[in-house]
Amino acid sequence: MVLLVDRALVRGDGPEVVGAAIAVRGGVITAIGGARDVLADHRGGTVLDHRGHTALPGFVDAHVHLVFDGGPDPVGAVRAADPRALAAASAARAETLVRHGVTTARDLGDRDGIVRGVRDGINAGRLLGPRLLTAGSPITPTGGHCWFLGGVADGVEQVRAAVLARVAEGADLVKVMATGGTLTPGGPPNWASQYGVAELRAAVDVAHAHGLPVAAHAHGLAGVADAIAAGVDTIEHCTLPAGPDTDASPARADAVLRAAAKAGIGVCPTLHGGLADLPELLAAPGFHALVARIGRMRRWGVPLLAGTDAGVPGAAFDRFAGSLRWFTEAGLTAPEVLRLATSDTAAAVGVGDRTGALAVGLDADIVVVADDPRANLSTLDEPILVLSRGRVVTGQA
């Protein structure tokens, strides 16, 4: 198969190949260059003619929940769902993701190992979906955030055992709830810590010993600081809400985030495309403070990850591109945002050796859009063609 386009953006932001052809065989990019040269070496195969359009690497969404439906009560829905129905719904959501250009996604909390089954079905070619990295049930204390997903563990020893269980189940990473959240009825508030450094470090030590990264759900500053001290790989949310934390001054917050930069710990702010439909949230001072903080983290060198929290209320699986506007609001340029959504996040979640760029030897995860997204990010909303590991999932083969 050879794909013809006006330009190919190698890392999302560039460099670009003008008048490009991309050859794909066995799901892998085998050549990229000028159309005349590539076509001369790849005669007789299928040609996808998208001249006039732009190709870039597939998007990476570092934070989704396929078992949640994105409706007003995803918790009630997932608790009431039959496992077979929930698996089918999760598979359908995975297909929605990939049809809208997300060719890699991390699922950071499911129930009953359902997403592991979806992952394996995609890898076997039975289902359509992105490359999935799944954490299984998130680790949380009794009554803690998302306890209903089945990952309850109290104290250091139970946390260690829970991580070993994820290893045995075939998880791709470990998710631990360092603080409370807003989704769990009656659960701890999002500013409150659920685990201390000892439990978080135990999770990191065991996970890393088995080659698995650790993602820490952490809203409150104390929980963020503990996650950094424990050496987690990524921090999810990092909203720093107000709470009875006497050491949550702006100066303290900046110091903690600079520590994340020094340690190379990534932050996924999980601002999704559906936020544009929530004017009451957009009007809140805390929201704009979070957006401004994203810009500061970028300047300090904190590795940022693109991720939508798809599945929570208002966060749809077809609006990844819309989530990128918040990074431009934070001061990133369009080329910087494109690199963030592709190669930067691919590297941060550990798949930069397989995807995130258009290069020979990498998987053929490719999105084709009408315009040059460096000048018009909104063109990402409607992909014309999506290849996921060489398989056409949107558009015509």
Q: For 182-201, what is each residue's pLDDT tens digit?
A: 999 999 999 999 999 999 99
Residue range 26-51, pLDDT digits in tens: 999 999 999 999 998 888 889 999 99
| pLDDT confidence band for 249 (50 / 70 / 90) | confident
Residue of 334, 302, 354 whose CA lies nearest to 28: 354
Q: From 3.40.50.150, 3.40.50.880, 3.30.530.20, 3.20.20.140, which CATH number describes the 59-348 domain? A: 3.20.20.140
Residue range 303-360, pLDDT digits in tens: 999 999 999 999 999 999 999 999 999 999 999 999 999 999 999 999 999 999 999 9
Q: What are phi and psi of 80, to 5 degrees?
A: -90, -15
State yes or no: cis peptide before 130, omega within 30 of 0.
Answer: no
Please give the class, per CATH, of domain 2-58+356-394.
mainly beta
**Assigned token pair, 197:** 């450094």
**Assigned token pair, 295:** 């810009």
Q: Could you give the residue ranges of the DSSP H alpha helices within 231-352?
A: 250-263, 279-282, 285-300, 320-323, 325-329, 334-339, 345-348
Please determine, for residue 65, whether its predicted confidence score (pLDDT) is greater than 80. Answer: yes
Residue of 346, 299, 332, 295 whose CA lies nearest to 105: 346
Average of per-residue pLDDT across 291-309: 96
Sorted by where each begins, the domain ranges of the chain are: 2-58+356-394, 59-348
Share of the chain above pLDDT 70, in %: 98
Mean pLDDT score of the chain: 95
Contacts of 7 (CB under 8 A, 6+ apart): 16, 17, 18, 19, 20, 54, 55, 372
